[in-house]
Structure 1
Amino acid sequence: MVFKNQLVKQPLSGIGYLFKGMKLLSHPKLRFFILIPFTINVVIFASAFWFLFSSIMNWIDSYIATLPDFLSWLYYILWPFLMLSILFSFSFLFSTVANFIAAPFNGLLAEKTEKLLTNQQINDDGFSELLKDLPRIFKRELQKLAYFLPRLLFCALLFFIPVFGQTVAPFIWFVFVGWMMAVQYADFPFDNHKIPFKSMKSALSKRLGKNLTFGMMVSFLTTVPFVNFIIMPIAVCGATAFWVDIYKHELINDGKQLEKE
């Protein structure tokens, strides 16, 4: 029996797909393919958060000290948002690094998850073919970085604009990182079907609410110690379930014409 039958209803929000990802994570057929992404995540996040939590309080106090005296009352409002912004920044940065390193294995996990949900083989490729496909996979990761970095720089610069930038930047950053996480993880099942990056972004934007809630929750969970060790494979499985429920039908079965890169 296809595993999809156990997960028939589509969640109302992107958060529901993380719960789907958690359910899929425990499936025996996926455990082997989760092992390598999990190990990469543990090594990178353990190192990153050791450095982060040894410095975060000093960074926040120094940043708030630059506010004018007449805005000193914002301290207790900005403090939690700044902490979250720093956590999300580091989480996004190291999640991007982890995903870049683990991209071939995340793509393989997305492929096996889709096969589990649909009982349909995507590719006949084994590990030897995966090795041959590495240049294309890493080219796609570089394409994502080229999309992320200018927007990342713009949001970061907002933090240095006195008063206005200092107050709105944390909120803008929260939304930005949510979108980036949605793009990051949705791309694995899309790329398995050779769907162009631009077409993938367009498809995600049509369900912006679901994708933002998915990405924001992933961002939040990457800041939670120990949970951040397993969030990568959960997000890959959840994004693949999202693909199977919605995008596979729209972009593949309906024969929609995809624009070429």
Structure 2
Amino acid sequence: MRDLGVGFGFLLQGQKWVGRHGRWFGFGLLPGLVTLVLYAGALVGLGYGADDLTAWATPFADDWTSPWLGIFRGTLTALVFAFGLFLAVITFTAVTLLVGQPFYESLSEEVDRSEGGDVPESGLPLWRELWISARDSLRVLLRVACYGILLFACGFIPVIGQTVVPAVGFCVSGFFLAEELTAVAFQRRGVELKERLVLLRGRRMAVLGFGVPLTLAFLVPFVAVFLMPGAVAGATLMARELGGETAGGDRDDDSGENDHPGGNLPSSGGDQGVHHLPH
């Protein structure tokens, strides 16, 4: 259970990092604002059309008497919207990261630089990085969709569907949200999706401690946009620990200057030639 606090600590450290580096915070807001407008429109449309969609999908219930028809379709409409919201939380990060790939990669590099030592870079052209990011996001989305369909079906189970299933849904969302965010740092290190998932499962509680609170926060309108820069920074810090990296290679461990929730994170050598946008 201690790892839950460690994961949440990375989330807080990321927000503190962008708070201390204001220009990077503003820089990281841009992709989220663009994506937010797109998703807000989609969710509003779903909210208006969920009743019609439910009625179209359940013609067999047209002759049911009141109140059973209203209860059945009302519950189903709520589940449809909840499922849409569930997918929105997961895909929002993926789409925002895809739209803002150069922005967030530069932010992640700056976090690595501030921790001292090497600043990994993929060495791939931008189009190749976008392709890998889109491909991996699609693979993650397919996994999430499978979980979502299963949880959607379990939502009809009395009591469990209204208590356990939403809790499990938030855990699933949190895990894959953390995967998408850490992918920014891991991709620069050449870590493939399968290996990333192995690393994340090895510290599952820390990943949930990072991802679940963020998932809950992302449900509040506009919050996702403002938390994204810090979330990318915190995910970079967590990726460093999951990958066995440490901060400030020559830093004295007894200096008390380490601000990582997961302990000292030193690295080796000086900065490599890196590209970063806002200076």
TM normalised by structure 2 equals 0.67
Counterpart for residue 184 of structure 2: 188
Provide closer, same or farther for how the CA distance between residues 12 and 149 of structure 1 changes in structure 2, counting only shifts above 3 A: closer
Provide closer, same or farther for how the CA distance between residues 192 and 173 of structure 1 changes in structure 2, counting only shifts above 3 A: same
Counterpart for residue 213 of structure 1: 209
Name the CA distance, whole Å, in 2 between partners of 1:224 and 1:133.
36
Counterpart for residue 223 of structure 1: 219
Higher mean displacement: 84-93 or 186-195:
84-93
Measured against aligned partners, the alpha-carbon deviations of 1:69-118 in whole angstroms (never above 9, x if no partner) come to 49x59x89x96x876554332232232211111123212211111111x2
Whose radius of gyration is greater, 1 or 2?
Answer: 2
* Pairwise CA distance, 1:24: 0.4
* Pairwise CA distance, 1:20: 0.7
* Pairwise CA distance, 1:175: 2.5
For 1:11-160, list aligned pairs within 5 A.
12-28=5-21, 31-32=23-24, 34-53=25-44, 55-56=46-47, 59=50, 69=68, 85-116=83-114, 118-123=115-120, 133-158=125-150, 159=152
Name the CA distance, whole Å, in 1 between partners of 2:169 and 2:139.
16
Residue 107 of structure 1 aligns to a residue whose secondary structure is: helix
Name the CA distance, whole Å, in 2 between partners of 1:238 and 1:60.
39
Name the CA distance, whole Å, in 1 between partners of 2:28 and 2:54.
35
Counterpart for residue 237 of structure 1: 233
Percent of residue pairs identical: 21
Name the CA distance, whole Å, in 2 between partners of 1:51 and 1:97.
14
Equivalent residue letter for 2:130:
F
Residue 20 of structure 2 aligns to a residue whose secondary structure is: coil
TM normalised by structure 1 equals 0.71
CA contact 1:155–1:172 (8 Å) conserved in 2: no
Counterpart for residue 195 of structure 2: 199
CA contact 2:12–2:234 (8 Å) conserved in 1: yes
Residue 198 of structure 1 aligns to a residue whose secondary structure is: helix
Aligned length: 234
Name the CA distance, whole Å, in 2 between partners of 1:207 and 1:150.
22
Measured against aligned partners, the alpha-carbon deviations of 1:139-176 in whole angstroms (never above 9, x if no partner) come to 33133224223223323433357834993764443222
Equivalent residue letter for 2:141:
L
Residue 22 of structure 1 aligns to a residue whose secondary structure is: helix
Equivalent residue letter for 1:202:
V
Counterpart for residue 259 of structure 2: none
Provide closer, same or farther for how the CA distance between residues 209 and 83 of structure 1 changes in structure 2, counting only shifts above 3 A: farther
* Pairwise CA distance, 1:54: 6.0
* Pairwise CA distance, 1:11: 7.7
Name the CA distance, whole Å, in 2 between partners of 1:107 and 1:101.
11
Equivalent residue letter for 1:15:
F
Q: Greater helix share, 1 or 2?
A: 1
Name the CA distance, whole Å, in 1 between partners of 2:41 and 2:144.
23
CA contact 1:155–1:169 (8 Å) conserved in 2: no
Question: Runs of 5+ in structure 1 lacking a partner?
Answer: 1-9, 255-261
Name the CA distance, whole Å, in 1 between partners of 2:157 and 2:52.
18
Give the superposed CA RMSD. Answer: 4.0
Name the CA distance, whole Å, in 1 between partners of 2:20 and 2:119.
19
CA contact 1:13–1:210 (8 Å) conserved in 2: yes
